[in-house]
Amino acid sequence: MTGGLVDFHTHTPLWHNGSWLAGTPFDPNEFTAFLDSAGISAAVVLAHDGLFNATPESNDDLARFVAAHPARLVGFGTVNPRSPAANKELRRCFTELGLAGLKLHPWLQGFSVHERALDPLCETVTEFGGILLSHDGTPPYATPAQIATLARRHPELPVVLGHGGLHDCWREALAAISETDNLYLCICGTPPYAARHILANAPSDRVLFGTDAGLSDKASQDYAVARVAEIDGWGITEAQRRAMLIDNPRRLLGEWLR
């Protein structure tokens, strides 16, 4: 298993927009040094700035960041679903920037996943064989059941619950992936007791893991390293561990993970 772990939820540094999630600046080489320190082989990298102001510049920054280590870093861009230019920008993310998916944060970006403006975006991601990852676990706009409804409207699109329901909605997240064939659950910020229960009861081929790295005040991302080490205390089987960390994410990413 050495060298194969995939972190399915990380972030670039904040470049343009101040926020309460600020964190420290870091470059791609410092980021891959963090990956090495945690025993992580590859990572899905999500926009940081774009969560607060979904601009083409944010996607450009993300694309440059992951292009520094294309064998290890896979980028998911973001757009404002209500913008008339959203679908055009999303297509650019795939055709010009080489990004592999779309990250949405309904809570911070201020929209509901029930809005029909998301349907053409989901169709575009499906067209390019990409993945949709959405923040979840924080009502009212980002509950797992709401995101599952979106996934069921687009059954050919892989949809990932980015936080496995967090502390309050993890039971709902487990129920949602059990009932929605194209829905995946990323254990990221999910408490350990919930992670154990999820792994024991969820469809074994649709559980992923992420650290939420990139938000730290240290380039070494110490909290994210600790989250990987924490897995050893969950009391899960080697088969569960391998599926979550290696087999499931690599199968889902497919050709996007070169």
In the chain, where the domains are located: 6-256
Whether the pLDDT of residue 2 is over 70: the answer is no
Between residues 197 and 18, which one has the greater pLDDT? Answer: 197
Residue 127: what residue type? E
Angle between helices 192-201 and 170-179 (to 10 degrees): 20
Query: Mean pLDDT across the stretch 162-185?
Result: 97
Instruction: State the pLDDT confidence band at 3, using cuts at 50, 70 and 90.
Output: very low
pLDDT of residue 142: 94
pLDDT of residue 23: 77
* pLDDT tens digits, one per residue of 179-206: 999 999 999 999 999 999 999 999 999 9
CATH of domain 6-256: 3.20.20.140
d(CA 184, CA 204): 10
Backbone angles phi, psi at 218, to 5 degrees: -130, 135
Between residues 18 and 127, which one has the greater pLDDT? Answer: 127
Instruction: State the pLDDT confidence band at 150, using cuts at 50, 70 and 90.
Output: very high
d(CA 67, CA 62): 9
Instruction: State the pLDDT confidence band at 155, using cuts at 50, 70 and 90.
Output: very high
pLDDT of residue 180: 98
What is the percent of the chain where pLDDT is above 90? 88
Residue 123: what residue type? E
Query: Distance between alpha carbon 33 and the CA centroid of its chain, in Å?
Result: 20
* pLDDT tens digits, one per residue of 201-232: 999 999 999 999 999 989 999 999 999 999 99
Instruction: State the pLDDT confidence band at 127, using cuts at 50, 70 and 90.
Output: very high
Query: Mean pLDDT across the stretch 58-82?
Result: 96
C-alpha closest to that of 104 among 223, 96, 117, 95? 117
| CB atoms near residue 164 (< 10 Å) | 31
Contact call for residues 97 and 77 (beta carbons, < 8 A)? yes
Query: Mean pLDDT across the stretch 9-21?
Result: 76
pLDDT of residue 93: 98
pLDDT of residue 258: 72
Task: Enter the tokens of residue 111.
Answer: 């929209």
Whether the pLDDT of residue 144 is over 50: the answer is yes
pTM above 0.85, yes or no: yes
> Average pLDDT of the chain?
94
C-alpha closest to that of 165 among 152, 148, 150, 182? 148
Contact call for residues 186 and 133 (beta carbons, < 8 A)? yes
